[in-house]
Amino acid sequence: MADYDYDLFVIGAGSGGVRAARLAAMSGAKVAVAEEDRVGGTCVIRGCVPKKFMVYASEFTKTFETAKGYGWDLGEARFDWKRFLLAKDDEIARLSGIYVRNLQNAGAEVVHARATLKDRHTVEVEGKGTFTAKKILVSTGGRPWMPKDLPGIEHAITSNEAFHLSELPKRIVIAGGGYIACEFACIFNGLGVETTLVHRGPNILRGFDDDVRSHLAEEMSASGIHIRLGAQIGKIEKTADGLVSGCLDGHELKSDVVMFALGREPYTEGLGLESAGVELTETGAVKVDAYSRTNVPSIWAVGDVTDRINLTPVAIREGAAFAQTEFYENSTSFDHEMVASAVFTQPQMGSVGLSEADARHKYGKVDIYLAKFRAMKETFYGGAQRCLMKLVVEQGSERILGCHVVAPDGPEIIQMAAIAMKMGVTKPQWDATCAVHPTLAEELVTMREKYTPPGLGQAA
């Protein structure tokens, strides 16, 4: 140890870096963690957490509508964007402070500055000098990817700026059909903004189950979002009346704000990885093995910068596994199989395991159980929102390969389903579970009829 300033130097205090730094420090190691922005990373500062607050804020519109159907008389509801932003920023500052305190309480040193690699054991910290470390963990996360050559792209914002708009726009155009585009389309629509989603593909949310994608697109359209599929923005112009997005098919869309959500890229630029000889993948991510080891024996990487599964809980588990292996003599690798995920659209979506298409491709014959229905909360007042629940089951073994839920609280439901599926639950075991009544989730354990997708006949 005497040879190095630190046992561990962590670059980037997001979900993965913070978990690794805390656990390593708690083992008695001398740990520093450098962060150029506020501590907490994408999740806490400009991602999951502020996004969820925006989801909550935007869901009230439907709640007010529902309340009327349940006998409530409400006055005129008005939303104060600036008041919301102030409250949101206060809460984010509080949470970031907790992250800092937790690090310090664990014994880690928090360095509020940008750090870059000089060589395999040395980091340079802006304004503070160079430090050596026996081990270095790169956990710098990702950042929005933008098509830099698109004419007028400087007029577009990313999700980073969407959290700080000085005014709530009247009209917004959102490019992309992934998690961020869909979630923000629902947020802005819920807040009363005229919202248009422009996506190049035939349907939103590529990679998810096709029934889920179609169902969600229908529900989003029914809630008032204009979804333009097979369309792409080719240029953006600023006019006296706002912004005009010119699509490649010649169609023009007018709005006050244009937001691009075309994916995120690993944040490796200017990090000095080449000085240390760290290999990158073709997509610019840090290349790691199952133990988050890079090709350089003293350097590891976790989280979005490695572009494995770019989700906060995954980064946390990768960071924890690294700390267990390197500081607790407990060799641990995180299992990236059967990781559930959620898209906080309206209605929300939760998914774990394989889509029907992927399951058919991998396992051949599968059984499908599918239910689409209006929840009793909706039917009571004549609401139109429909839920979808779907199970994909391997024929023969009866193992549940995929579970997909589009419903209010779908993500809460899927967390429980993920436990059983991680344990390898079969359909008979699943069905032996008695329903909880009256709930939405009971539908999942009462689906008995096999569903034959249109056009599949006996081949299913």
The residues annotated as belonging to the active site are: 437
In the complex, what is the shortest distance from the CB of residue 201 to ligand NDP, in angstroms, rounded to a whole number? 4
Hey, which residues between 156 and 195 contact ligand NDP (CB under 6 A)? 176-181, 183
Residue 156's alpha-carbon distances to 148, 199, 232, 309, 429, in angstroms, are 11, 16, 14, 27, 50
Kindly state whether residue 206 participates in binding ligand NDP, applying the rule CB under 6 A. yes
In the complex, what is the shortest distance from the CB of residue 336 to ligand NDP, in angstroms, rounded to a whole number? 13
Q: Specify the residue, 312 or 324, whose C-beta has the smaller distance to ligand NDP.
A: 312
Q: Distance between the two ends of the chain, CA-based, in angstroms?
A: 61
Reported in sequence order, the residue ranges of 230-287 that DSSP labels E, i.e. its strands, are 233-239, 242-247, 252-255, 257-260, 264-266
Kindly state whether residue 135 participates in binding ligand NDP, applying the rule CB under 6 A. no
The contacts found for 285-294 with CB under 8 angstroms, 24 or more apart, are 286/138, 290/333, 291/321, 291/322, 291/325, 291/331, 291/333, 292/318, 292/321, 292/322, 292/333, 294/138
Q: Specify the residue, 203 or 426, whose C-beta has the smaller distance to ligand NDP.
A: 203
Q: Specify the residue, 27 or 140, whose C-beta has the smaller distance to ligand NDP.
A: 140
Work out the burial of residue 148: count CB atoms within 10 Å of its CB; fewer than 13 is exposed, 13-18 middle, 19 or more buried.
Answer: exposed
Q: Specify the residue, 112 or 200, whose C-beta has the smaller distance to ligand NDP.
A: 200
Of 178, 250, 191, 249, which Cα lies nearest the Cα of 225? Answer: 191
Minimal CB distance residue for ligand NDP: 178
Residue of 15, 306, 310, 351 interacting with ligand NDP (CB under 6 A) = 310
Residue of 343, 368, 389, 414 interacting with ligand NDP (CB under 6 A) = 343
Q: Specify the residue, 242 or 263, whose C-beta has the smaller distance to ligand NDP.
A: 263
CA torsion 124-117-309-46 (nearest 10°) is 30
Which span sits near ligand NDP by CB under 6 A: 198-206, 238-246, 383-391, 441-449?
198-206
Residue of 344, 347, 352, 408 interacting with ligand NDP (CB under 6 A) = 344
Hey, which residues between 236 and 265 contact ligand NDP (CB under 6 A)? 261-264
Contact between 403 and 353 (Cβ < 8 Å): yes
Residues that bind ligand NDP (CB under 6 A): 147, 176-181, 183, 199-201, 206, 232, 261-264, 310-311, 341-344
